[in-house]
Amino acid sequence: MKHNQNRRIFRTFYAATASLMLLSGFTSLAAEPGGNSFRDNIAVAAQDKADAASQENKNANAAAEWNLSDIAGGIQGEALESTKAAAEEAREAYLLKIEEEKKAAEEAARIAAEQAAAEAAAAAQAQAAEEDRRLLAALIFCEAGNQPYEGQVAVGAVVMNRVNSGVYPNTIREVVYQSGQFTPAMTGWLDSVLASGGYTDSAMQAAADALAGSDPVEGCLYFSTGGWGTQIGDHYFH
């Protein structure tokens, strides 16, 4: 393609030179001796001009190619660096997200475990409280099931006063089953009533009131069917 362009340049230059010779009357000189040398000089000059133009084109093309290569290389380098930076940012963001999700999952698991433990503890506490209520109701039924309601609450209050005294055991079960203290517990009658649920609703309510703090005997730790103290029904509390 460049060769054809040089040929066109040479032809144009040669035609212009020939036209100039015709217009200025130098055609006669061309016929005289030495005329060939002149034409040769013109041809050489034209060829030199064409070669110079060709070389200039080559230099320009080479410069353009170098600039294009350099620019393309620069663009590729910048794109590569940008891609690397974006990839690194994406990786860091992903790792951060994973870490945050892990922490959130761990926190959720911790909260769930604590909640489950609290619920289990509350359920166990509720079950223990219900068991204490039923045990106290069974004792009240055995000791005062035939007594007025106030006398039933008073028997339950004696048990609670012992639990809170610091002198007796600090649980209802230990107080009720303490050796030598309550006859129904020693004879097995208490266990029979408790197992069968033979206590009355009145005894259950009296137990609930005593557990809630009702104390008609004002801190008494003992009761009996005879003797001294505050009398409620057939029992004396002291």
| Average pLDDT of the residues in 34-55 | 58
User: Rounded CA gap, 144 and 185, in Å?
Assistant: 14
Nearest to 200 by CA among 150, 142, 160: 142
Nearest in space to 144 (alpha carbons), one of 199, 181, 196: 199
Q: How confident is the model at residue 35 (pLDDT cuts 50, 70, 90)?
A: very low
Residue 148 pLDDT grade (very low, low, confident, very high; cuts 50, 70, 90): very high
The pLDDT of residue 21: 52
pLDDT, residue 78, reads 79
pLDDT value at 30 more than 50 = no
135 has pLDDT over 70: yes
Helix (H, G, I), strand (E, B) or coil at 27: helix
Q: What is the mean pLDDT of the chain?
A: 82
Q: Which pLDDT belongs to residue 176?
A: 98
pTM of the model: 0.58
Using only C-alpha atoms, what is the Rg of the chain?
59
**pLDDT at residue 65, rounded to an integer:** 55
Whole-number pLDDT of residue 62: 56
Which pLDDT does position 15 carry in this prediction?
Answer: 52
Find the mean pLDDT for residues 124-134: 94
Q: Tell me the β-bridge partners of 235.
A: 232
Residue corresponding to tokens 């055609």: 27
Domains in the chain, start-ordered, CATH in brackets?
2-82 (no CATH), 130-237 (1.10.10.2520)
Residue 105 to residues 9, 27, 51, 110, 185, Cα–Cα distance (Å): 80, 103, 79, 8, 52
In this predicted model, what pLDDT tens digit does every residue of 184-238 receive, in sequence order? 999 999 999 999 999 999 999 999 999 999 999 999 999 999 889 999 999 999 9
pLDDT in the model for residue 60: 59
Residue 19's pLDDT band, with cuts at 50, 70 and 90, is low
The CA angle 109-110-113, to the nearest 5 degrees, is 85
Tell me: pLDDT of 162 over 80. Answer: yes
Percentage of the chain lying above the pLDDT 90 cut: 61
pLDDT tens digits along 71-128: 656 667 778 888 888 888 899 999 999 999 999 999 999 999 999 999 999 999 999 9
Residues of the chain with pLDDT > 70, as a percent, come to: 68
According to the model, what pLDDT value does residue 31 have? 44
